[in-house]
Amino acid sequence: MSVSVKNITKFYGSQKALDNVSFEINPGEIVGFLGPNGAGKSTMMKIISCYLPQSSGKVSVCGFDVEEESLEVRRNIGYLPENNPLYADMYVKEYLEFIAGIHKLNNKKEKANEVIEMVGLTPERNKKIGALSKGYRQRVGLAHSIIHNPRVLILDEPTSGLDPNQIIEIRQLIKTLGRERGEIAGEGKTVLMSTHIMQEAEAICDRIIIINKGKIVADGKASEIGNFKEKNQKIIVEFNDSIPLISEALLKINGVLFVSKQKETLFKIEADSLKDIRPEIFRFAVENKLSVLTMQKEEQRLEDIFKELTTE
């Protein structure tokens, strides 16, 4: 297990920021940690990265306990904090060599050059950090977080504040790091990245954990979270023509729960999600001398589910 979080609770004074949170992340997984502002994402990431002690519960990273073996944990983790603090007056190369020194790496210059190349900072490497655009500063942060070749990356809102082009570039970079830059060939780094943007999690991650008010409310593959809440299936069907009392007739199909007429020949049919009723709809059409012009299952969008799970 790369990251194991067991029954973590965190209080700030009397305020509970995390409430009995548990999850595990396998080596090589890219996991999105999704939730609205104030949900507890940063708090959880700080605990995993040894920056903040938990109130109760256990966290281990690559088998090392965050409280008892924090040096080992830090060695295995690359952490990009939410506001990516950087020294504005240092030059990119100088800064990364300095970080390599903090990690006590032998070949500081080489290591700095290697990560500069990896994150696409080569053209900017002789500039002062303060003179860089936000997107390039974020690359410096990423370079910082991977310089010691950690097995686990913890990225807190890595794309927040970037413009759309920079967002695409940073997302691509995270994907690349996750898929190709692992210690073992073919096995990428384990990545846990937080975001409050649904589409971002969907675009980058294999798996999504949704947190709200300090509690995990969903955990699964992006495609599975769609089925997380057992929902009725909705089918939109258009016939070439109509028959008298067509809605009532459709309602008689086994499994159909609700029919709403959108237009004269266009219907939205809700049915029990356990049974595929599409063949029944075709049979209905044939029996009534109708043709089905279009039929489509209305997918419940992940974004709607996110909204549903995180608002009352």
- Find the binding residues for ligand ADP in span 220-259 (CB under 6 A): none
What's the Cα-to-Cα distance from 124 to each of 80, 133, 152, rounded to whole Å?
20, 10, 26
**Among 28, 32, 35, 141, which residue interacts with ligand ADP (rule: CB under 6 A)?**
35
Q: How far is the CB of 272 from ligand ADP (least distance, A)?
A: 36
- Cβ contact 270:261 at 8 Å: no
Contact flags string 142-171 toward Mg ion, x per CB under 5 A:
------------------------------
Q: How far is the CB of 35 from ligand ADP (least distance, A)?
A: 5
Task: Please tell me the distance from the alpha carbon of residue 148 to that of residue 105, in angstroms, as a whole number.
Answer: 7
**Contact with ligand ADP (CB under 6 A) among 14, 37, 106, 165:** 37
CA distances from 110 to 87, 97, 115 (A): 21, 9, 9
Per-position x/- string for 38-67, each x denoting binding to ligand ADP as judged by CB under 6 A, each - no binding: xxxxxx------------------------
Select 39 or 48, whichever has its Cβ closest to ligand ADP: 39
Which is nearer to Mg ion, 18 or 62 (by Cβ)? 18
The size of the interface with ligand ADP (CB under 6 A), counted in residues, is: 11
Half-sphere exposure of 15 (CA within 13 A, CB side): 8
Instruction: Assign 237 to helix, strand or coil.
Output: strand
Tell me how long the chain is.
Answer: 312
CA 23, chain centre distance (Å): 14
Distance between CA atoms of 223 and 202, rounded to whole angstroms? 9
Q: Which of residues 10-69 bind Mg ion (CB under 5 A)?
A: 41-42
* Shortest reach from residue 203's CB to ligand ADP, in Å: 19
- Per the CB < 8 A criterion, the answer to whether 255 and 277 are in contact is yes
40 vs 120, which CB is nearer to ligand ADP? 40
32 binds ligand ADP (CB under 6 A): no
Q: Which of residues 80-109 bind Mg ion (CB under 5 A)?
A: 82
> Rounded distance, CA 291 to CA 238, Å?
9
3-state secondary structure of 272: coil
Of the pair 194, 300, the CB lying nearest ligand ADP is at 194
Instruction: Examine residue 12 and tell whether it contacts ligand ADP (CB under 6 A).
Output: yes
Q: Spell out the residues 6+ positions from residue 63 whose beta carbon is closer than 8 angstroms to its own.
A: 1
- Kindly list the residues in this chain that would bind ligand ADP in the complex (CB under 6 A): 12, 15, 17, 35, 37-43
